[in-house]
Amino acid sequence: MRLLNASTYELRAFEGEQTPQYAISSHRWEDDEVSFKDIHKGRYLGKKGFYKIQLCCTQALADGYAYVWIDTCCIDRRSSA
């Protein structure tokens, strides 16, 4: 499972019991969402959808979570898995 670090905006893969507790954000996809590829390549700052990610991460950190799962950027849509 891939999770987004709420402080650094870096993706990290976890398996099984190593997976930390995390916050979840699932929302309506709109134009200019931040994708897995955008996060992976560091091209997310100018995207309109980054604001939602920032808000989610800020709230997650305030609630004591270091990681978040956001469907738009934690799922690699190029993969069928």
The residues spanned by each domain of the chain are 2-74
State yes or no: pLDDT of 74 exceeds 70.
Answer: yes
For 47, 69, 70, 79, the CA distances from 22, given in Å and listed in that order, are 24, 7, 10, 23
**Which tens digits make up the pLDDT trace of 43-73?**
888 898 899 899 999 999 999 999 999 988 8
What residue type is 30 in one-letter code?
Answer: E
pLDDT at 72: 85
**Which tens digits make up the pLDDT trace of 12-51?**
999 999 999 999 987 777 788 898 899 888 888 889 889 9
pLDDT at 66: 98
Q: What is the mean pLDDT of residues 2-20?
A: 95
- Other Cβ atoms less than 10 A from the Cβ of 42: the count is 9
* Cα–Cα distance measured from residue 12 to residue 62, given in angstroms and rounded to the nearest whole number: 20
